[in-house]
Amino acid sequence: MKPIYTCFDTVIGPSYHYGGLALGNTHSLSHKHQVSYPKKAALQGLSKMKLLLDHGVNQYILPPYKRDYKSLIQGYYDYQGDFEDNLKRLYDDNLNLFSAFFSASSAWLANAWTMTPSIDSVDCRYHVSPASLQACFHRQLDVDQTITLLTKSLCSKSYVTCHHPAAFFDEGAANMIRLSAGGKGLYLFVSGSFNTKRFESRHDSRSWQLLVNQHQLDPDYVIYLTQHPDAIDAGVFHNDVISFGLDDLLVVHENAFVDQANYCDTILETYSSCFGTDLTLIQIPDSIFNLKDAVNSYFFNSQLVRKHNDCYLLLVPSRCQGLPVVDYFISEVSRQWEKQLDVVYCDVDESIKNGGGPACLRNSVDVFDDPNIIFDDHYIFTESLYNRYAHVINNYYFDKVVLSDFKLIEYVCHLDMIMSKFI
């Protein structure tokens, strides 16, 4: 069976705000405590899913992750005092923790897990590893819910093995690229470097080694890469901020990896020896588009998808419109790659202001069976689900939010009420 490229996104949650909480993420740091627009953010995310649906992509939608604000805050105060007072108290005592408790960072599903298809494993099962997200406390708070989602509702136990999160730093599929020639995958697993000057890295190579074993992947179809420390210091906190790829196309900034020239040769050679065909590798030179441009524009976070008819679609962040790099890329791709690629702009700018572009908002997997037997069909994105969720967002989400709004118990009750609409 031909693989069905399958995407998963969540609805961006109603408490969406700019907490400035994310390690090494210059967008999050520079928007710290600015006014946020949760309704706009959620509608942008939903429109991205609709665009993919309209292009015939197999898309799943998950409700926003739920946070039990009361337990988090009362737990912090050892259940002493009343919730209403403690809300205000935490805001004054520890603003970052307050923000972390209200974070809607589960929206960036690319970091939630890493899933590999049955064709790649010795036991012919799908495997999924929830990411530990240890680098940022506000993101770690979502891990249990990811485990529950994967084990109790989204995935079929008969086909999918769900592993425990690694005990090492792991930021999920954002640091993985799966190349292929239509069948088995060749994996690029990217992790951070130790010798950075400005920001610590967020992914430990040991997480990938563990995953390769647990998912029973063929070691001959795995390449480990290390992020260039200059890239991390420029704000490349995940590899999907500096490269993207799928099947026989790999697009990468010239300064993404340590020892890049040698590794690019290795990737090209390994691809040819695994599949007997050639990989198209496009390197974007630093001279036309430097690391700062890459981070500011989020060009490399464009979402590349394979459609049913084996044509490809690239959702490029709308803020890249007019940038020379897009013309450069389009001319290189049409010169070097034989497949058809449609390039479409997509506005998820509210999410990018927190460091999450089109590709960060989704997780994905190639499905080699009927997707309905692998995943719970409640989550299949349809026109009617689009209308239902758009209605909830339009009618109940706040237009504007500042962090101090969450000090009010009425606000917090309103968030809980919105969440109940998604069930």
Q: What is the DSSP letter of 17?
A: -
Binding residue for ligand SUG, selected from 6, 9, 12, 18, defined by CB under 6 A = 18
Encoded one letter per residue, x for contact with ligand SUG by CB under 6 A and - for no contact, window 225-254 reads ------------xx-xx-------------
- 163 catalytic? Reply is no
DSSP code string of 83-143? HHHHHHHHHHH-HHHHHHHH--GGG-GGGTEEEE-GGGBTT--EEEEE---TT-HHHHTTH
Q: How far is the CB of 20 from ligand SUG (least distance, A)?
A: 5
Which one is catalytic: 7, 127, 138, 171?
A: 171
Using alpha carbons only, what angle is made at residue 200 by residues 197 and 205, rounded to the nearest 5 degrees? Answer: 120
* Residues 24 and 237 sit within 8 Å (Cβ to Cβ): yes
Binding residue for ligand SUG, selected from 6, 10, 15, 25, defined by CB under 6 A = 25
Rounded (10°) CA dihedral 367, 371, 374, 376: 140
Q: What is the CA radius of gyration of the chain?
A: 21
3-class SS letters over 225-281: EEECHHHHHCCCCCHHHCEEEEECEEEEECCCECCHHHHHHHHHHHHHHHHCCCCEE
Q: At what angle do helices 95-102 and 69-76 cross, to 10 degrees?
A: 150
Distance CA 202, CA 103 (A): 19
Token pair, residue 305, equals 């998808």
Binding residue for ligand SUG, selected from 3, 13, 14, 19, defined by CB under 6 A = 19
Token pair, residue 406, equals 């969450």
Cβ closest to ligand SUG, residue 189 vs residue 386:
189
Which one is catalytic: 155, 162, 274, 360?
A: 360
Q: How far is the CB of 67 from ligand SUG (least distance, A)?
A: 13
Q: How far is the CB of 36 from ligand SUG (least distance, A)?
A: 9
Q: How far is the CB of 207 from ligand SUG (least distance, A)?
A: 15
Distance CA 50, CA 59 (A): 9
- The 10 Å CB-count burial string (b at 16+, else e) for 59-74 is bbbbbbbbbebeebbb
Stretch that binds ligand SUG, among 16-24, 185-193, 328-336, 382-390 (CB under 6 A): 16-24
> How many C-beta neighbours within 10 Å does residue 94 have?
13
Token pair, residue 302, equals 């464009």
Q: How far is the CB of 25 from ligand SUG (least distance, A)?
A: 4
Binding residue for ligand SUG, selected from 3, 14, 20, 229, defined by CB under 6 A = 20
- 238 catalytic? Reply is yes
> How many C-beta neighbours within 10 Å does residue 309 have?
8
Report how far apart, in Å, the C-alpha atoms of 223 and of each of 187, 190, 263 are. 6, 9, 9
Name 123's Cβ contacts closer than 8 Å, sequence gap at least 6.
161, 216
Encoded one letter per residue, x for contact with ligand SUG by CB under 6 A and - for no contact, window 81-110 reads ----------------------x-x--x-x
13 is an interface residue for ligand SUG by CB under 6 A: no
By CB under 6 A, the count of residues binding ligand SUG is 23
Stretch that binds ligand SUG, among 182-190, 306-314, 326-334, 353-361 (CB under 6 A): 353-361
Q: How far is the CB of 9 from ligand SUG (least distance, A)?
A: 12
Binding residue for ligand SUG, selected from 10, 111, 201, 296, defined by CB under 6 A = 111
Binding residue for ligand SUG, selected from 13, 117, 356, 358, defined by CB under 6 A = 356
256 is an interface residue for ligand SUG by CB under 6 A: no
22 is an interface residue for ligand SUG by CB under 6 A: yes
362 is an interface residue for ligand SUG by CB under 6 A: no
Q: How far is the CB of 284 from ligand SUG (least distance, A)?
A: 18
141 is an interface residue for ligand SUG by CB under 6 A: no
Residues that bind ligand SUG (CB under 6 A): 18-22, 25, 28, 103, 105, 108, 110-111, 136, 139, 174, 237-238, 240-241, 354-356, 360
Task: Just list the catalytic residues.
Answer: 171, 238, 360
